[in-house]
Amino acid sequence: MNDLIPAKSMLDLSLLAPLLDELLALHHWVSEESAKRIELHSHMAIDQASPSLRNLAHYLALREKDVRPLQQTLAHCALTSLGRSEAHVMHTLETLIRLLEHTLGRPVASLGKAPLSFDEGEELLKRHTERMFGVSRGLPAHIMVTLPTEAAAESSLIDRLVKEGVSCFRINCAHDSVDVWEAMIARIQSAESRYEHRCTILMDLGGPKLRTGALSPQVKQLQIKHREYPVDYEAGVLLTDECTRLHEHNGDGLLLDAAVFTHIDIGDQLHFIDVRGKARRIDMIQKTPAGDLIGYCKHKAVISLDTSFELHKHTGSVTGQPSAFLPTRLHTAHNAVRVFRGDEIRLCRSVQGRHPHPTARADIEIQVPEVLNRLPVGARVWFDDGKLGGTITAIESEGVLITLDHAPPKGSKLARDKGINIPGVNLGLSSLSKKDLYDLDFVVSHADLVGLSYVERLQDVELLVEQLKSREAMLPIILKIETGRGLAQLPGILLNMLDRHPLGVMIARGDLAVEVGGERMAELQEELLWLCEAAHIPVVWATQVMESLIKEGKLSRPEMTDAAASARADCVMLNKGPYIVEGVRVLADILERMQAHQHKKTPQLRPLHWSESATG
């Protein structure tokens, strides 16, 4: 029978000797480099480090080499290609070496201390995951849900989520209040008792999230809604010749030329044809203490900067007064502005009392104004999870001018409390704010896990550990990786902290994708999964998982694939939305199906039942 096999298909034993030599050299490299890494970062000898810390150092050393040619040769010889060695790096290497030594009849080389075994590596990751999230509910990954504000008042929401498979709830300290948090936690505890399922609580410290503040939009069109008469100050239309007062107003407003404004008084009317061709008028009904006028428009109207107004005096006299004029600026009551590619906006410390920029579509506050001092011309700025992006073109005393070059074809609305990302710029912010330290008192008394947002520096992690110790708490910390700097610093942080405090990692894919670019996110989330597996620490796959289903009630095909890929993490986080219960149900079904096919990177070759595809 063997005569039928071509000679070229038989294993070439001459490959094995140089292969063994290459593996021994690689083993020596990994041993030497990992010892240096542990000594540099943890200030201890490698023998003093925990098995997890040693394995992490081994993995980082291994991945410093390009071992793809070696992998190709190993695969050719039907040997493990090292591609699934994350949790037990040296065990995989040494098993290969011993196998080749035995095959070649070579003497057994001394490789030092016995490494962490395959089973021990798997067990450590399982143990650390259970410490964070409790015992699995039969799925390959725990399911975490971010609670909305209404969960504090709606009695059934948390019950339904627990029933569908949620084992961890996330409370974001950047939102709501202590009273709301307490109500949420009480409902979680009540659901635990009813369903006899332990649910862990993660409370995220808000951190230095850059967000937009108040806006002073300079809109091209102003939509005046119908109001019942009489109207109050904010519900009416403000007419003024002072730009600052226009932008301090909380309602709709028109800026008029002073030469026009001085002729308008209470009782007068402004007649006009709006942009839709509708005949409308604004009646002057009230004067403010500052001398501005409040107008009332009986019907809905849309005004632009090209809308021509005709002044009708209540006295009937028009002599020497302008008969027609245009507004010079419009102001909207809504704290939002639609912006387009090519628009300019100004990011500033405050819009109060500021003279609006002559060309910018809007003046927008940044909620952490001190970062403006660190922003250079040419820096990229992204808004609202990357929906809008632009480049800083000028630095001014009041802020920075940004020209937008990334926006949807129909523009995008920019409002208050939208995220801001400034990739590649060291903003000099600590991950722990004063509010975070205040919130930490509540967190240590009520939560099982604490999330550290915008991790970028070892010092911030050490500070949180010290703050926890001062409160006599040992809550595990979830490091949220949301920036490019945080990604680069993570290996060093883990090498320093792994033996000092229990840790997990959250891949915050929304902010991280904006920071590093969507093109890189696919590979980076894989690398983070591998790194965490090497450290035997749980990783949370977060942000935009099945988002269209949760928010709109429909699930796209790419989201199904993404949810299936999330089974390689130890926990999957879903954000809040009106269809969150259905989202949990679908995710649990996908995770249950995937656990029969894959564990981490390892395929599980269960029997294939093709007929199931015909029956569902």
Listed by start position, the domains of the chain span 13-116, 125-208+429-600, 218-331, 336-421
Omega within 30 of 0 (cis) for the link into 230: yes
User: What's the number of CA atoms in the CB half-sphere (13 Å) around residue 474?
Assistant: 4
Three-class SS string for 109-170?
A: CCCCCCCCCHHHHHHHHHHHHHHHHCCCCCCCCEEEEECCHHHHCCHHHHHHHHHHCCCEEE
In CATH, what is the architecture of 125-208+429-600?
Alpha-Beta Barrel (3.20)
Which of 2.40.33, 3.30.1490, 3.40.50, 3.30.565 would CATH assign to domain 218-331?
2.40.33
User: Which residue positions in the chain have pLDDT lower than 70?
Assistant: 1-12, 217-219, 230-235, 244, 247-248, 317-323, 332-335, 352-356, 596-598, 601-616
Instruction: Tell which residue, 372, 430, 439, 366, has the closest CA to residue 173.
Output: 439
Q: What is the pLDDT of residue 5?
A: 40
pLDDT in tens, 292-310: 998 888 888 988 888 899 9
338 within 8 A of 404, measured Cβ to Cβ: no
Instruction: Tell which residue, 109, 55, 129, 49, has the closest CA to residue 85.
Output: 55
Q: What is the pLDDT of residue 323?
A: 67
Each as own residue / partner, the long-range contacts of residues 607-612 (CB below 8 Å, 24 or more positions apart, any chain) are: none
Q: What is the pLDDT of residue 231?
A: 63
Q: What is the pLDDT of residue 8?
A: 46
Domain 125-208+429-600 shares a fold with domain 336-421: no
Q: What is the pLDDT of residue 2?
A: 45
Q: Both tokens of residue 95?
A: 């098993």
What is the spatial distance between Cα 433 and Cα 427, in angstroms, rounded to a whole number? Answer: 14
Residues 20, 25, 26, 32: is their CA dihedral positive or negative?
positive
Q: What is the pLDDT of residue 218?
A: 67
Instruction: Tell which residue, 351, 161, 179, has the closest CA to residue 249.
Output: 351
What pTM did the predictor assign? 0.78
pLDDT in tens, 240-264: 888 767 766 777 888 888 888 888 9
Q: What is the pLDDT of residue 383?
A: 93
Q: What is the pLDDT of residue 54?
A: 95
pLDDT in tens, 455-503: 999 999 999 999 999 999 999 999 999 888 899 999 999 999 999 999 9
Domain topology for 336-421: M1 Pyruvate Kinase; Domain 3 (2.40.33)
Token pair 């894989």 is at which residue? 526
Q: What is the pLDDT of residue 605?
A: 55
Residues in the chain: 616
What is the spatial distance between Cα 508 and Cα 486, in angstroms, rounded to a whole number? Answer: 11
